[in-house]
Structure 1
Amino acid sequence: MRDDQRTEILRVTNPDSLVDAVVTEGGVNATTPTSYRVQIVPRGTQPRADHKWDDFRADHVDSLTVTWSSARTLDIGYRNARIFHFSNFWQSAQVRNFDYEVELRLAPRTPSALRAPEPPPGSAQSPR
């Protein structure tokens, strides 16, 4: 699947029903893992194809979640991820002419979101 061939896998409307958080997935080629994108869009509209509109873009993602903790706060949760792009705010001329701002927050669920946790010092490790 080419990167411009994205599949919407989740859409979550915020509590005041003005915007959606849209999660898409897609890949570039056989040597590149699936990438995930999150875009905030006016409710019911499609995310833009150009990645410059992404609010979050990552690969090697495990257990991705998007949750509205309030009408204007979106939490992006994950166990592991390699994040290439993240913006902590969103606003648009299409929603109250830039007078409506959404805060985006990263919410990793492990001490290191890049790799599996290290075993405690002195513990036996199994061979790989």
Structure 2
Amino acid sequence: MDSTEDEASVFRALADPTRRQILEDLREGELAAGEIASRFTISAPSVSRHLGVLKSAGLVRERRDANRILYSLVEERLATCVGRFLSAVCPDQIVLRHTRRRTAAETEGDPS
């Protein structure tokens, strides 16, 4: 798999709101598959498929602990892929310029 296709798998994984929620849930630390599934109204097999997509994209890792499968976020993978994309389409100076403008506008509008 080339790097373009590899990064595309990350964005395909991020396209689904359930998978994004799983990633958010994992930001506090690892969770068992059952704990993750209990947070959703969809079936456990559906959650398992979502976890498989996230694992294939390299966004989560799993480890076995006795009869449980624990999942954790691969923060560096997420940050690298999304960061590379953002720096290509939205260079830092553009982000900083917009932030400065927004801060200045908020300050001007602040009566205190």
TM-score normalised by structure 1 residue count: 0.21
Q: Name the TM-score, length of structure 2 as normaliser.
A: 0.22
| Bigger-Rg structure (1/2) | 2
**Structure with greater proportional strand content:** 1
Higher RCO (Cα < 8 Å, 6 or more apart) = 2
